[in-house]
Every structure is written in structure tokens, then in C-alpha cells.
Amino acid sequence: MKISKEAKDRANGIFRLAEAEGRSTLFEHEVYALLDAVGLKTPRFHLIKDESEISQSMLESFGREVVVKVVSPDIAHKSKLGG
């Protein structure tokens, strides 16, 4: 599989951000972005950094079933914590 320069740049940006934040692991949405960059199918996702980003039309675009997950460097295994 040949990976485009754009995909490589996108991947490198994700790795640089994690490194700049002092993380040695990637968040789930970052892994999805990497997989998407190389052309692999991923679940539909939307990262919301602030509740002001939530709109009725955005919620409706997802349909009836939505999974909400916490993104935090302090919570790696949410299911172990009852999340």
C-alpha cells in the first residue's frame, strides 16, 4: 500500500501533538485519524472539546445511537473505571 505525502504529514502531525503534550500513547480519535489517513475504514467520530460545540443538527446527523467517550490522558482504560 502506497501512502500519500498528505497522509504521512497528517500522521506526523498526530505524533508530534502527542509528543508535545508529553504522551507516549495516542487517544482513540487519533488512532482513527491515522487509520483514516491511510485509507482504512473507521467508525464515525467527532471530537468535542467544549460543550459549546454541540448543536442539535450535529447530534441529529449521528442518528439514534451515539457512543460518548471521555478523552483524557489521566483515564486510559475507561471501562475499568466504570466509564
Q: Is the pLDDT of residue 83 over 60?
A: no
- Whether the model clears a pTM of 0.85, i.e. scores above it, the answer is no
* pLDDT tens, position by position, 17-56: 999 999 888 988 899 998 988 889 988 877 787 878 778 8
Q: Is 80 helix (H, G, I), strand (E, B) or coil?
A: helix
Element (H, E) at 81: none
- pLDDT score recorded for residue 17: 92
Q: Is the pLDDT of residue 71 over 80?
A: no
Q: Is the pLDDT of residue 78 over 60?
A: no
Q: For 6-32, give one letter per residue: b (16+ CB within 10 A) or e.
A: eeeebbeebeeebeeeeeeeebeebeb
